[in-house]
Amino acid sequence: MSVFLKKLFFLFLTYKLNSQRIAVSQFQDYCSMTAFASRDVMVAEEKVKISIKSVNHKVLKLQIRHPGSGSFEEELRKTIVSKLNRGTVYLSVEVEEGDAVDKGYLSWLEHCQKENLPQPSWGDYFARMQVAPGLMVDFDKHQEDIKGSLMEVLEDFKLSALSEGKRLLEFVDSYLNQLISSLALIKEKIPEIHEQKINAYKKRTAQLVHELDSELKDDLLKECGLLLEKLDVQEEIDRLSTHFDHFKQSLYQEHKGGKYLDFLCQEIGREINTLSNKSQSAYVSEVCVGMKAELEKIREQVQNLA
Residue 9 above 80 pLDDT? no
Question: pLDDT: is 139 or 154 the higher one?
Answer: 154
Residue 19 above 60 pLDDT? no
Given this model, what pLDDT does residue 17 score? Answer: 46
Residue 224 above 80 pLDDT? no
Residue 11 above 50 pLDDT? no
Average pLDDT, the chain: 79
Given this model, what pLDDT does residue 8 score? Answer: 47
Residue 282 above 70 pLDDT? yes
Residue 251 CA to residue 226 CA, distance in Å, equals 40
Confidence of residue 254 (pLDDT cuts 50, 70, 90): confident
Residue 6 above 80 pLDDT? no
Confidence of residue 226 (pLDDT cuts 50, 70, 90): low
Given this model, what pLDDT does residue 196 score? Answer: 81
Given this model, what pLDDT does residue 106 score? Answer: 66
Residue 4 above 50 pLDDT? no
Given this model, what pLDDT does residue 22 score? Answer: 39
Residue 288 above 80 pLDDT? yes
Whole-number percent of the chain with pLDDT over 90: 34
Residue 7 above 60 pLDDT? no
Task: List the single range of 47-56, 77-86, 124-133 with lowest mean pLDDT.
Answer: 124-133
Given this model, what pLDDT does residue 239 score? Answer: 94
Question: pLDDT: is 256 or 268 the higher one?
Answer: 268
Query: Could you state, in order of their start, the residue ranges of all structural domains in the chain?
Result: 3-28+165-302, 35-164
Rounded mean pLDDT of 158-184?
93
**pLDDT of 264-273, one tens digit each?**
999 999 999 9
Confidence of residue 195 (pLDDT cuts 50, 70, 90): confident
Rounded to two decimals, the pTM is 0.69
Question: pLDDT: is 27 or 298 the higher one?
Answer: 298
Question: pLDDT: is 8 or 66 the higher one?
Answer: 66
